[in-house]
Structure 1
Amino acid sequence: MAIDTRDDILERDETTNLIASNKVEGTAVYNRSGEKLGTVSHFMVGKRNGRVEYAVMSFGGLFGMGANHHPLPWDVLDYDTDKGGYVVDLDKERLEGAPSFARDQEPTWDRDYGTRIYGYYGLNY
């Protein structure tokens, strides 16, 4: 029986262009100033096209309690290897006005909601 080494784990969970979903969840999200905004709670994948549409970021609260969830279009996230997390062009004030939902109130993930989210970030849905 072989013992996993760090290199073996990286080969299975991450390549230059791909990353396993379990490695994305819990990843920090920063703004361009380096301020941590939250962490990726989960992401939403299109059933038909297989494309990641949103990274749902947990933001606010204390120790995860009372945090809101902010769906961010995947295209607004840039991975920064130096930070080991994603970077977005947002500050906390702009994020506070963004479409969000409480942990226990999952939204209806329909076209209207997608248009609202993408529009808030200046993207076409």
Structure 2
Amino acid sequence: MSKARWHILREGDRLTVARRVPVRWDLAVQTTLPDAGRLRIAQQVRQDMWRALQDLRGFAPVVQVTRVDGVLQVKAGGAVAGAVAREKLEAEISEVLNCPKRRARWLRHAQHKRVAA
């Protein structure tokens, strides 16, 4: 089985990690984090979101991290094939984004070896 490929799109202060391009946002949740390595944050959020929603068929995750005024605005969600309970899925993504243990881990990981992304 071949390794899944993820697209990394850089546009100024915005970095997007997506399963498919063009990026499509059928559902999305946002949060703010302290400034850290955008790519590392995006990859950690994507990984945790993917684990939480791994049984959702046709899900193409997207995580967008934008540096604004010294903080990171994180948008997580993506495209879903077929009819889904959008509010329920957004609640699950929100749980991932707002979990204090995950947030602390993401920041530790992103600040351990800060990359310029």
Higher-Rg member (1/2): 1
After TM superposition, the score normalised by the length of structure 2 is 0.29
Q: Which has the higher contact order (CA 8 A, sep 6+)?
A: 2
TM-score, length of structure 1 as denominator length: 0.28
